[in-house]
Amino acid sequence: MTEMLLRALNITKRYGAFTALAGVSFDISKGEVVAVVGPNGAGKTTLVNTLSGLFMPDEGGVMFEGRPVAGLGASALALRGLARSFQLVTIYPSFTVAEMISVGAFARAGQTFRLLRPSATCRREQAQVREVAAAFGLEHRLETTCSALSQGEKKLVDIASALTLRPRLMLLDEPTSGISSADKDRIMETLLAAAQRLGVESLVLVEHDMELIARYATRVIGLKAGSLVADMPPDAFFRDPAVIETLVGKVPHNALG
Amino acid sequence: MKTILAFLAVLAAFVAAPFALGPYYTTLIIPILAYAIALTGLNLLFGYGGLLSFGHAMFLAIGAYASAVMGAKLGVRAFEAQLIVAMLASGTVAALIGLLCLRYTTIFFSMLTLAFGMIFHSFLFKFYDLTGGESGISVPRPSLFGASFASMSKTAFLVGPFYWYALGLFSVMFLLMALIVSSPFGLALKAGRDNERKTSFLGVPVFKVRYVAFILSGIYCAVGGAVLAVSIGAADPELSYWTQSGNMIFIIILGGLGQLFGPIVGAVSFTLLQDTLMANTEYWRFALGAILALIIIFAPRGILGLITRALEWRRR
Ligand SMILES: Nc1ncnc2c1ncn2[C@@H]1O[C@H](COP(=O)(O)OP(=O)(O)O)[C@@H](O)[C@H]1O
Ligand SMILES: [Mg+2]
């Protein structure tokens, strides 16, 4: 049996009277690449925020490695092995790529409160930064200021900064949004290869691009109006026109290859 | 490396100043050093941490009163002892207040620090026995490294031993800050400023990082306040008034927010500017305000930003 990493049990999340998630349950095991799909407003971001402990569900709960996520706090959870990125790309504009990636490296090494040593002289962490950058093909960009990067590179740096924590599970909210379709494939491929190289065991990614899902996902979770309407392997998903219809609208003709 | 060279240039200027300027102007430089120390601390919180405090004059006053109370009321003349008490007192108060203020950010943080500053200001008036009320406490000449310099005139003491002591203190505090802002801690503090949520998901306990920065900034301000009290010969409640906090923020922005040399450049420029303006126009407050507005609009990186830009332009 494969090891279970995350369990969402009957989670319900409301904004006032509006129910954004209605009793959603699923488990995520080691080795899975789970694509979360659904129309805008389906509750995908709310799901990621709840899984990562940013929101407390109104009902139900989330367990990571068998322990509840609630009340743990983002930084503790991240250090325990559950990392995430955000739907809008988040970089620190004035940081260099190396600096941005090193924040997590220092946190992971328990060096955040090291006050009197220049971070550039911390050899072990800087070596990790180079290793992570190399995994993302960013090694030639280490000294570039983040604000000067292309949109695609910003996305990669954003994700790389989180993967420096070497999480077991990584949640990615629309990692390819805002990227030209020509670049999407390359970004996704880079990020999956990097995740594997850095020892990430499972990925959950909110994704709209059916081609990418067909190519990379091992499982598809469909959300609609806060309810779980599909949870199946990609080939079953793409063989079910009714499910695709509810979740995506029309089927892109080339998604099935 | 660049930082060390720039620091040596600044240090050389301050070493040369007393010889070039004579005693009168040298007495005016000591407050510059005092403010530079205090603002180096405030810059950590405001510039690097993105937390605008309107209450840090309180910590300046705590330092000044610690020196005054120790020297005048308890008869402890050793300035080193006064500094340690100033740092402990200020660090303790910052640790208590910070716990509450840092639950908030942005304007709510600013308003809470302002409120605590005002409470402290009224405390100085109320507790007459300890603080001397409105008139404050005059500060007796401290001893430095055990030497009392009793035979010197007041000016000779200030422009002689005390000037060098203050310059040494500034150098040590500045170099420590240079390490702090380039450390993993400094990086985490800036990261939290740029995006709190993202930073906490990178494993950084943002609140704790800010808390440490808050306490450090309080300690720096207290050291500056103790030096200031000796140079003006008194600790009085006006030191803690909120306009003083406003001035401190002005000087940081004038010099260059979030830049290591911002506070020292700001303190020097502010003093020169204020002196020139006061000597030439009765509308000097208006002129200062106008200059602040111009800086914010046209030179958001302050005078230091202008200097860096000029240097880069020349190099081309
Ligand atoms: N903070 C909030 N307050 C109120 N409603 C919200 C909030 N965040 C999201 N919603 C609503 O919840 C629903 C789900 O949002 P979201 O999880 O962002 O969807 P998705 O990521 O799938 O597009 C949407 O209808 C949205 O308008
Ligand atoms: Mg979303």
A72 touches chain B (CB under 8 A): no
B250-261 mean pLDDT: 95
B269-273 mean pLDDT: 92
Query: Hey, what are A1's tokens?
Result: 């049996």
> CA B38 to CA B218: how far, in whole Å?
8
A147 touches chain B (CB under 8 A): no
- DSSP codes of every residue in A94-148: TSBHHHHHHHHHHHHTT-TT--SS-GGG-HHHHHHHHHHHHHTT-GGGTTSBGGG
Residues of B in contact with A122 (CB under 8 A): 184
Taking CA atoms only, the protein residue closest to ligand 1 atom 6 is A15
The band of B284, judged by pLDDT with boundaries at 50, 70 and 90, is: confident
Whole-model pTM? 0.94
Which-ligand-closest: CA of A174?
2
A153-161 mean pLDDT: 95
In this predicted structure, the answer to whether residue B76 has a pLDDT above a threshold of 60 is yes
* A30 φ, ψ (degrees, to nearest 5): -55, 135
Percent with pLDDT over 90 in chain B: 78
Return the residue of B nearest to A108 by Cα: B203
Strand ranges (E), chain A: 4-15, 18-29, 33-37, 59-64, 67-68, 82-84, 169-173, 202-206, 219-224, 227-232
pLDDT at B312 (0 to 100): 84
Question: Residue with structure tokens 């420590």?
Answer: B176
In this predicted structure, the answer to whether residue A147 has a pLDDT above a threshold of 90 is yes
Check A112 against B184: CB less than 8 A apart.
yes
Helices B57-68 and B206-232: crossing angle, nearest 10°? Answer: 50
Please, what are the domains in chain A? 4-247 (3.40.50.300)
Residues of A in contact with B188 (CB under 8 A): 103, 106-107, 112
Burial state string for B152-164 with b = 16 or more CB within 10 A and e = fewer than 16: eeeeebbbbbbbe
How confident is the model over A200-243, as pLDDT tens digits?
999 999 999 999 999 999 999 999 999 999 999 999 999 988 88
pLDDT at B248 (0 to 100): 95
Question: Which of B183, B191, B202 is the closest to A78 by Cβ?
Answer: B202
How confident is the model over B1-15, as pLDDT tens digits?
789 999 999 999 999
Please list the residues that pair with A14 across neighbouring strands. A19
pLDDT at B92 (0 to 100): 98
Residues of A in contact with B202 (CB under 8 A): 75, 78, 103-104, 107, 161-162, 164-165
Question: Residue with structure tokens 């550039």?
Answer: A120
Tell me how crowded residue B282 is: count the other CB atoms within 10 A of its CB: 8
A177 touches chain B (CB under 8 A): no
pLDDT at A253 (0 to 100): 54
Atom of ligand 1 nearest to the CA of A15: 4
The band of A198, judged by pLDDT with boundaries at 50, 70 and 90, is: very high
Residue A87 CA to ligand 2 center (angstroms) comes to: 6
Please list the residues that pair with A19 across neighbouring strands. A14
Distance from CA of A32 to the nearest CA of B (A): 22
Query: Hey, what are B181's tokens?
Result: 């802002």
pLDDT at A257 (0 to 100): 41
The band of B48, judged by pLDDT with boundaries at 50, 70 and 90, is: very high
Note the Cα A178 to chain centre separation in Å: 16
| Domain ranges (residues) in chain B | 2-241
| Mean pLDDT score across all residues of chain A | 92
Query: Hey, what are B186's tokens?
Result: 């400094």
* B101 φ, ψ (degrees, to nearest 5): -60, -35
Q: Which of A106, A117, A125, A173 to mutate to test the interface with B (most CBs of B within 10 A)?
A: A106
Question: Residue with structure tokens 């705590």?
Answer: B62
Distance from CA of B184 to the nearest CA of A (A): 5
H-run or E-run covering B305: helix B302-315
What Cα–Cα distance (Å) separates residue B40 from each residue in A86, A191, B10, B218?
34, 41, 14, 11
B256-264 mean pLDDT: 96
How confident is the model over B191-241, as pLDDT tens digits?
999 999 999 999 999 999 999 999 999 999 999 999 999 999 999 998 999
Residues of A in contact with B177 (CB under 8 A): none
Note the Cα A3 to chain centre separation in Å: 19
Check B205 against A112: CB less than 8 A apart.
yes
B300 touches chain A (CB under 8 A): no
* A243 compared with A62, residue with greater pLDDT: A62
Taking CA atoms only, the protein residue closest to ligand 1 atom 2 is A15
> CA A175 to CA B147: how far, in whole Å?
66
Question: Which of A76, A78, A119 is the closest to B184 by Cβ?
Answer: A119
B201 touches chain A (CB under 8 A): yes
> CA A132 to CA A160: how far, in whole Å?
7
How confident is the model over B119-164, as pLDDT tens digits?
999 988 888 778 888 778 999 999 999 998 989 999 999 999 999 9
Q: Is the dihedral of CA B242, B245, B251, B254 positive or negative?
A: negative
